[in-house]
Amino acid sequence: MDKMTERPTESPLPKIRRRMVSNSPDGTETNPVVLHDSVLDVALNKFSNIRAVNLVKFFSVAVTMGSLMYEFYPPARGSYFSDKHNFLNQYFVKLAWGWTMAIHTSFIVFSSLQSPVDAGQVVRGLVRVLLVGTAVWYFWVEIVFHRVMQATGACVGNASLTEVRACIRDGHHWDGFDISGHCFLLIYSALLIHEELQIISNIKSKTPAYHSNSQSAQTMITIPVANVTIGYRSLVNFLQQLFTVLMTLFELLWILMVMMTSIYFHVWSHKLLGTLIAFASWHCTYNLWYQTTLSPGS
């Protein structure tokens, strides 16, 4: 009787990096060989597997402690982060939603090429950020926050200017209840990125391998392995991992800038309300709406 060999079990972590080998005359790939996860792969997955609710707890503590420092132990002015014109604030924080959309779109596109993600999952992922996320951002920042600021203040330096943007554009200061758009946007963006990393990770770990002959695998948005060259697969794998790293780095950057905003800018009530609205927006979408069947949740 032939000896039975035990088939090794795959790691539950999603395989970010794969090497394909060829055994066909034309040099195309036919046999996928899964390498061990690198230290970077493991670190990325460890970070993405942190529960989002733990990030909420962290933000709660960070904003509270930062606000207390701002009110009672204000840090010395003149530091890099106290200057609102610093590079990170001007080119990243103020464009935070644009960066979040761009990096997420690239991430999900390359994830769909590298691993078995079906068309519906790709579309839902794009809808969650490009449509729902943008609608949430626009509603709160451009409509609600602006109207609250408008209704509760006046232009200091030129009382004849009765519109917030006109006052600021003319070089004056508008004194009103300024809900922290930075706290809201950075926290909401960080939570959204974290949730999306977890969704892709879960899809990869639960979906049949892309070289499977099953009916479900035939509907995947992946080019058949036999028609993909080694160079193409390596490039796609590299780009998918690159954007996974970038997603993680942007999340860490948003976390850092939330802490700096809490320490250097806004009074505590402005930061508290912006933070609570970010939490509520995340909870109502990812924890409530996206758990229902009539939603872009996965």
Neighbour-count burial of 282, counting CB atoms closer than 10 A to its CB (0-12 exposed, 13-18 middle, 19+ buried) = buried
Among candidate residues 163, 181, 177, the one with its CA nearest the CA of residue 84: 181
Per-position b or e across 139-152, b if 16+ CB within 10 A of its CB? ebbeeebbeebbee
- Active-site residue, from 104, 194, 266, 270: 266
Radius of gyration from C-alpha coordinates of the chain: 23
Between 181-206 and 119-126, two packed helices, what is the crossing angle to 10 degrees?
170
> What is 223-267 written as a DSSP string?
--GGG-BHHHHHHHHHHHHHHHHHHHHHHHHHHHHHHHHHHHSS-
Cα–Cα distance, 220 to 214 (Å, whole number): 11
Task: State yes or no: is 172 an active-site residue.
Answer: no
H-run or E-run covering 10: none
* 210 φ, ψ (degrees, to nearest 5): -70, -15
Q: How many helices (H) and strands (E) does the chain have?
A: 11, 4
Task: State yes or no: is 182 an active-site residue.
Answer: yes
13 Cβ neighbours under 8 A, 6+ residues apart:
37, 41, 42, 45, 201, 205
- Active-site residue, from 104, 182, 194, 270: 182
What tokens does 91 get? Answer: 């080119």
Among candidate residues 76, 51, 29, the one with its CA nearest the CA of residue 226: 29
Task: Please give the positions annotated as active site.
Answer: 182, 266
